[in-house]
Chain A
Amino acid sequence: KAGVTQTPRYLIKTRGQQVTLSCSPISGHRSVSWYQQTPGQGLQFLFEYFSETQRNKGNFPGRFSGRQFSNSRSEMNVSTLELGDSALYLCASSRTTTNYGYTFGSGTRLTVV
């Protein structure tokens, strides 16, 4: 079966712009989580959505937002991009709500110049 699909794989944006990243979870998975991975800070939790509702949020500024659609696909948006937002953004999906069934996508590599 298809895995977690993230698009695009690579993205280059200019400071001050905004960006939208997409995540299609595994069929039947209703929970989607997002993570930011940087060399300095490592893997950090952004937020989690379940049935179109944000249930949990990490410690990121309000420029980072997300949403989930009725088909469980999720998007995250970063507005007013800063150089420090350059990172690998990973999406993970799970069928359950118990935190132990997450499958990760290959990520979107965002470079802000």
Chain B
Amino acid sequence: AQSVTQLDSQVPVFEEAPVELRCNYSSSVSVYLFWYVQYPNQGLQLLLKYLSGSTLVKGINGFEAEFNKSQTSFHLRKPSVHISDTAEYFCAVSGSPADAGGTSYGKLTFGQGTILTVHP
């Protein structure tokens, strides 16, 4: 079984300040890791993903995340936020179907979300 914990339910920050949204996961198999963003009344948009290889992953809109296997973390960072980054952010984990068998087909396990509010 897999689980995801997003350590902060809300993160307020001022415009142009850096931000870090924290995510820890647990899994008994090798994982894929994701960050999604959701704007009000919309679906989920993929920001970035870690599949393998370099532990520093760069995504859209200036976001990046670092995979730390020993700490089972996948924190999201942005060096300078904008008002338009105000949204809810979700960390998600998935097992490779090859590793997890049929139990992971199509299944992403999400954290509870972090609401990022950027103030002017």
Chain A residues with Cβ below 8 Å from B95 are 99
Interface SS majority for chain B: mixed
Contact across chains for B97 and A98 when beta carbons are under 8 A apart: yes
Chain A residues with Cβ below 8 Å from B108 are 33, 35, 43, 45, 99, 102
Contact across chains for B43 and A97 when beta carbons are under 8 A apart: no
CA–CA, A100 and B31, complex, Å: 10
Report the count of interface residues on B (CB-CB < 8 A): 30
Measuring CB to CB, which residues of chain B are less than 8 angstroms from any residue of chain A?
32, 34, 36, 41-46, 49, 51, 90, 92, 94-98, 102-113
Measuring CB to CB, which residues of chain A are less than 8 angstroms from any residue of chain B?
4, 31-33, 35, 42-43, 45, 47-50, 55-56, 58, 90, 92, 94, 97-100, 102-107, 109
Instruction: Given contact pairs A42-B111, A42-B112, A102-B46, enumerate 10 new A-B contacts (beta carbons under 8 Å).
Output: A4-B43, A31-B106, A43-B108, A45-B107, A50-B105, A55-B102, A56-B103, A92-B44, A99-B94, A106-B43
